[in-house]
């Protein structure tokens, strides 16, 4: 080999092996609805560190069941906190969807490439996804035009180890990083308790679970009700997220951020004139 060209060949091989130092980081905004100090969020943030640069903007306190509600009548206070892992985060006196809005529009210097919400304590499969603050935050990300993921974990029989759920969510995030998502589409990820068998793309179940309102009285005799909700455990339709969870699989369900029904609109055009 020509001795003059050898250094150039070595340099070319070196450039192929060493990542470009000037490459912009893949920015991930992480939030949840269980509160900024929730263990599920801490596990998720650590797992997503292998996918990109993580910024945490989450509710200061539990905001479960807030759906897509937005904080507009109260000021939103921002506090700097440390997660159990020592990672810096911002805790906001706001709903999950508001955390995404503020994170994207005000708190992050640059727009995130991905929004991930979770890991929620309890699954958000089936139609309960519509009232979930975890899912609402991911929906808000999709409405902002950002690929988004909601992640939730089954806590059946007291299960509280978020490691597998975090690992599978990071795996889904890595796929989204590589391939992207259609504008206005986000992923609802639900992880079973225990050791999952794998990932399964699933339809959204029409099951809603069981819900009752238990009546009580306070010491002065005033009536009040306490919600008692039980997640759906099975579905006769084996293609759904509820069925996938029951079989031990992580359910990955693509959802649309908006609800416009084009087929019905086209049919009504002929009827409403």
Alpha-carbon distance of 268 to 134, in angstroms, equals 34
pLDDT band at 17 (very low <50, low <70, confident <90, very high): very low
Lowest mean per-residue pLDDT among 9-13, 59-63, 220-224, 246-250:
9-13
Smallest Cα–Cα separation from 167: which of 43, 21, 38? 43
% of the chain surpassing 70 pLDDT: 92
- State both tokens at 116: 């991930």
Q: Measured on CA atoms in the order 126, 59, 38, 34, is the torsion positive or negative? A: negative
- State both tokens at 249: 């699989």
Complete domains list, the chain, with CATH: 24-204+236-260 (3.40.1210.10)
User: Is the pLDDT reported for residue 31 higher than 90?
Assistant: yes
pLDDT band at 22 (very low <50, low <70, confident <90, very high): low
User: Is the pLDDT reported for residue 60 higher than 90?
Assistant: yes
pLDDT band at 228 (very low <50, low <70, confident <90, very high): confident
| Interior angle at CA 129, CA 127 and CA 135, nearest 5 | 165
User: Is the pLDDT reported for residue 96 higher than 50?
Assistant: yes
User: Is the pLDDT reported for residue 2 higher than 90?
Assistant: no
Task: State the pLDDT at residue 9.
Answer: 36
pLDDT band at 270 (very low <50, low <70, confident <90, very high): confident
DSSP, residue by residue, 49-104 = TTTSEEEEEEESS--TT-TT----SS---EEEEE-TTS-EEEEESS-HHHHHHHII
pLDDT band at 188 (very low <50, low <70, confident <90, very high): very high
pTM of the model: 0.87
Average pLDDT over residues 81-94: 96
Task: State the pLDDT at residue 87.
Answer: 94
pLDDT tens-digit map of 125-158? 999 999 999 999 999 999 999 999 999 999 999 9
Q: Print the SS3 string covering 210-270.
A: EEEEEEEECCCCCEEEEEEEECCCCCCCCCEHHHHHHCCCEEEEEEECCCCCHHHHHHHHC
Average pLDDT over residues 99-105: 97
Average pLDDT over residues 157-163: 94
């Amino acid at each position: 080999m020509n001795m003059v060209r050898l250094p150039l060949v070595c340099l070319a091989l070196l450039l192929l092996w060493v990542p470009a130092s000037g490459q912009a980081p893949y920015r991930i905004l992480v939030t949840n609805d269980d509160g900024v100090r929730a263990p599920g969020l801490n596990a998720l943030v650590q797992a997503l560190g292998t996918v990109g640069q993580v910024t945490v903007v989450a509710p200061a306190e539990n905001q479960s069941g807030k759906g897509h509600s937005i904080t507009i009548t109260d000021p939103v206070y921002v506090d700097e906190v440390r997660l159990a892992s020592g990672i810096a985060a911002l805790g906001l006196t706001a709903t999950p969807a508001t955390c995404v809005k503020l994170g994207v529009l005000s708190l992050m210097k640059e727009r995130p490439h991905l929004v991930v919400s979770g890991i929620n304590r309890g699954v958000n499969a089936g139609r309960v996804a519509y009232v979930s603050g975890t899912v609402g935050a991911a929906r808000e990300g999709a409405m902002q035009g950002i690929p988004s993921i909601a992640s939730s974990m089954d806590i059946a029989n007291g299960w509280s180890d978020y490691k597998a759920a975090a690992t599978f969510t990071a795996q889904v995030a890595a796929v989204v990083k590589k391939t992207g998502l259609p504008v206005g589409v986000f992923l609802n990820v639900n992880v079973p308790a225990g050791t999952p068998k794998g990932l399964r793309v699933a339809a959204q179940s029409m099951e809603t679970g069981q819900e009752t309102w238990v009546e009580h009285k306070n010491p002065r005799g005033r009536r009040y009700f306490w919600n008692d909700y039980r997640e759906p455990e099975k579905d006769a339709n084996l293609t759904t997220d509820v069925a996938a969870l029951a079989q031990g699989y992580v359910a990955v369900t693509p959802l649309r951020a908006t609800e416009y029904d084009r087929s019905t609109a086209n049919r009504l055009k002929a009827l409403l004139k």
